[in-house]
A and B are shown apart, each in its own frame.
Chain A
Amino acid sequence: AQSVTQLGSHVSVSEGALVLLRCNYSSSVPPYLFWYVQYPNQGLQLLLKYTTGATLVKGINGFEAEFKKSETSFHLTKPSAHMSDAAEYFCAVSDQTRGQGGSEKLVFGKGTKLTVNP
């Protein structure tokens, strides 16, 4: 079964500093991986996803993530943090049940809360 581990439930950075949020996955098949962001009192929004192809994936708001099969990792980075990046970030892996009626089960990590200090 697929699973995701997010290292660090809280990460605090200064504005302008590098953001690094860690995600390791376990999957019995080549994984489809996602990063979602949740702003306070809102739903989740997709930042980026990896399915196949290029292992460095660029997303919205300047975020990117690199799929490293040898390390079973999909860490999220942003070169320079902005105050508006403060949110909860979730890494997820798909169990790829799409063949069954087109539904896809996402398995989420426990989330990392990012705080950006002025």
Chain B
Amino acid sequence: DTAVSQTPKYLVTQMGNDKSIKCEQNLGHDTMYWYKQDSKKFLKIMFSYNNKELIINETVPNRFSPKSPDKAHLNLHINSLELGDSAVYFCASSQGGTVVSYEQYFGPGTRLTVT
């Protein structure tokens, strides 16, 4: 059983389009994240949610809007796609404790290509 799954795995679209990436985790975790990995493999956090509440919101353009319908799902919607949005987007989840550090489990990634 896949712990953290993302759909689609590949997404090719044109500039100006709107697209969504879906993420689901079956680990029972409270916290979910979105990361962006650029062409140089640099990985940076974008958002985190804890129990459907937005906790971390890095300096991401407001064209990116995360949505968490329940604590097992965290979707990423991107409006007016730009060439610079081309990257691999990773979803992750963790137990989200307030004292100790818990492992973050990553999904397989969604490779977004904007043409």
Tell whether A and B belong to one assembly.
yes
Q: Which residues of A come within 8 Å of B, CB atoms?
A: 32, 36, 38, 41-46, 49, 51, 88, 90, 94, 96-108, 110-111, 113
**CB-based A-B contact count at 8 angstroms:** 84
- Per-residue CB contact flags for chain B residues 1-41 toward chain A (1 = under 8 Å, else 0) read 00010000000000000000000000000110100000011
A51 and B106 in contact, given A103-B55, A103-B96, A105-B48 (Cβ under 8 angstroms): no
A46 to B104: give the CA distance in the assembly, Å: 8
**Could you jot down 17 A-B contacts, CB within 8 Å?**
A43-B90, A43-B106, A44-B106, A51-B100, A88-B41, A90-B43, A94-B101, A97-B56, A98-B100, A98-B101, A101-B50, A101-B55, A103-B31, A103-B48, A103-B55, A104-B94, A104-B96
A113 to B41: give the CA distance in the assembly, Å: 10
> What's the least CB distance linking B42 to chain A, in Å?
5
Nearest A residue to B91 via CB reads A43
> What's the least CB distance linking A103 to chain B, in Å?
4
Name the interface size band of chain B: 20 to 34
A110 adjacent to B56 (CB under 8 Å): no
> In this assembly, does B44 line the interface, its C-beta being within 8 Å of a C-beta of chain A?
yes
> In this assembly, does B97 line the interface, its C-beta being within 8 Å of a C-beta of chain A?
yes
Residues of B within 8 A of A32 (CB): 101
Most chain B beta carbons < 10 A, residue from A36, A45, A97, A98: A98
A98 and B45 in contact, given A43-B109, A103-B55 (Cβ under 8 angstroms): no
A106 adjacent to B106 (CB under 8 Å): no
Residues of A within 8 A of B97 (CB): 98, 102
Contact of B101 among A43, A104, A110 (CB under 8 A): A104
